[in-house]
Structure 1
């Protein structure tokens, strides 16, 4: 079912979309269960248990990716009738939150093995000490941008001396399309801490009309 049909067909179309998404998730969960069982049955006689855990973690990560795609898509479609900008912001928020949940689940799952748990603790300590402060800061800033929405997707803004249109707010970076056609990736923390000028809607419309006329 297309996005435009959801806009016009109302509650019935939205209920159908919800049922479709729920059915996809159920099928995906059942498939994941079968794959996990098959992996355990086939690989455990060949590989040590800790390697089987790695296979399970990879399978959960793949399933989690598809679940996030389904949930972000249904969230986008259900809110698109109200506002395209809100729909895009919610889609970004669902993707960021889903990625955090999947990563946390995989770490928790791998921690079942004492050796892996000790390795994760050591690696986590090193990562936190050297680089994760910026990563976590960008993730939190991305969630703030998606929730508070100081600017929205498709807004025309001026930041870092450049003017561009907000294309996407990701987990770590905000993507802007500049006036010359180049794309700029700006870290979410820099977007939160920098001065951002929102261009007027009339100015955006005039720019669009000039582009069409050209």
Structure 2
């Protein structure tokens, strides 16, 4: 685990270094070298830099998410670590987009644009993030385990899986029920004794 955690950090550092070098080369080419040959592309440099920031930003955020995944794997199983990785990735991408919007707008306009983008992303992903955070709490608190006989949100059955967004329960007739994790957190959880299974 420690080796993979170190590899994830090394990957993030490499992505940052490559991004800085490529960004500097693009700046030199578009603002100094190409104009010497009467190729006027300075006005497009901002767009190229934004594309580079989006591309490398995604890789950097994914690398940070992998670092959190392997750090969590030392103490928790795959499902908990994957939940944390997904939440970090969603928050990281939102922060990256807000930062890029702020840089493009500049000053107070950038802050307003970044804030507006953050609000839009927040509202758009409110349900998903709520379920992901609820799933994370379920995986950490573990009020029930896989193969426990339970009653969740009025559904009787055996827990088959607890993932980031849904808990899967198999009913006695074989029907598979996917219950949103945020519905479970907000309701009573009934754990049936072993003899009722």
TM-score bracket, normalised by the shorter chain, equals 0.5 to 0.7
Aligned to 1:65: 62
Residue 46 of structure 1 deviates from its aligned partner by 6.7
Aligned to 1:212: none
State yes or no: 1:110 paired with 2:98. Answer: no
State yes or no: 1:158 paired with 2:151. Answer: yes
Aligned to 1:79: 75
Measured against aligned partners, the alpha-carbon deviations of 1:140-184 in whole angstroms (never above 9, x if no partner) come to 4344334433335x35343231424353432xx224253537462
Q: Is the 8 A contact 2:170 2:176 kept in 1?
A: yes
Separation of aligned partners in 2, 1:167 and 1:16: 29
Residue 118 of structure 1 deviates from its aligned partner by 4.4
Pick from 155, 179, 190: which aligns with 1:197? Answer: 190
RMSD over aligned Cα atoms: 4.0
Separation of aligned partners in 2, 1:98 and 1:132: 13
Measured against aligned partners, the alpha-carbon deviations of 1:14-36 in whole angstroms (never above 9, x if no partner) come to 55444444444444444444455
Aligned residues: 180
CA gap of 1:65–1:16, structure 2 versus 1, over 3 A, is closer
Query: What TM-score does the superposition give when structure 1 sets the normalisation length?
Result: 0.58
Q: Is the 8 A contact 2:95 2:118 kept in 1?
A: no
**SS of the residue 1:113 aligns to:** helix
Query: What TM-score does the superposition give when structure 2 sets the normalisation length?
Result: 0.62
Separation of aligned partners in 2, 1:127 and 1:63: 19
Structure 2 unmatched runs, 5+:
31-40
Separation of aligned partners in 1, 2:191 and 2:71: 29
Aligned to 1:144: 137
CA gap of 1:200–1:105, structure 2 versus 1, over 3 A, is farther
| Structure of greater Rg | 2
Q: Is the 8 A contact 1:69 1:95 kept in 2?
A: no
Q: Is the 8 A contact 2:58 2:93 kept in 1?
A: yes
CA gap of 1:28–1:150, structure 2 versus 1, over 3 A, is farther
Separation of aligned partners in 1, 2:121 and 2:90: 18
Residue 190 of structure 1 deviates from its aligned partner by 0.9
